[in-house]
Amino acid sequence: MKWHDKRDVLMLSTCHKDDQEEVTRVRGNIVKPKMVLQYNKGKQGIDISDQMSSYYSALRKSLVWYKNIAVELIFGTVVVNNHNIYNEVNPNNRISLLTFTENLSRELVNVSVQNNTPVQNHAPSSAKHHLQQIPTD
């Protein structure tokens, strides 16, 4: 199917027909293929997830491409998804993505969130890691 909105859009689907649906826009009503509407509805969550993971990216310059993919998957997608799950499970105690990431980082280096001191019940080798605020100039 070929459809033109701002530019030509070519679509191929085995589960859609060429059905059209009227959509209300600011400038008036237009007719869009149902295939486009369903695609946009499914893509919306991915766009939001990508946007949220870009706010506090853990990516650094690296010549090795697979390290960048691993870091993006672990620290981008996984952290954003877990932040969303946390906020759904705790609707009365919602926290920002930054706070969630900071708390997660502290837990990963075995530091107490309350007083930034090493947790005593972990292995002694993990006590040498700590978070430190870097002053901004």
- At residue 92, the pLDDT reads 92
The two three-digit tokens of residue 136, written as one number: 């901004």
C-alpha span between 76 and 58 (Å, rounded):
7
Q: Mind listing the pLDDT tens digit for each residue in 33-69?
A: 888 888 888 777 677 767 776 676 666 666 677 777 7
- At residue 113, the pLDDT reads 45
Q: Mind listing the pLDDT tens digit for each residue in 84-103?
A: 899 999 999 999 888 888 88
Q: In the chain, where are the structural domains located? A: 1-55, 60-132
Task: With 0.85 as the threshold, say if the pTM is over it.
Answer: no
Q: How many CB atoms lie within 10 A of CB 131?
A: 13
- At residue 23, the pLDDT reads 84
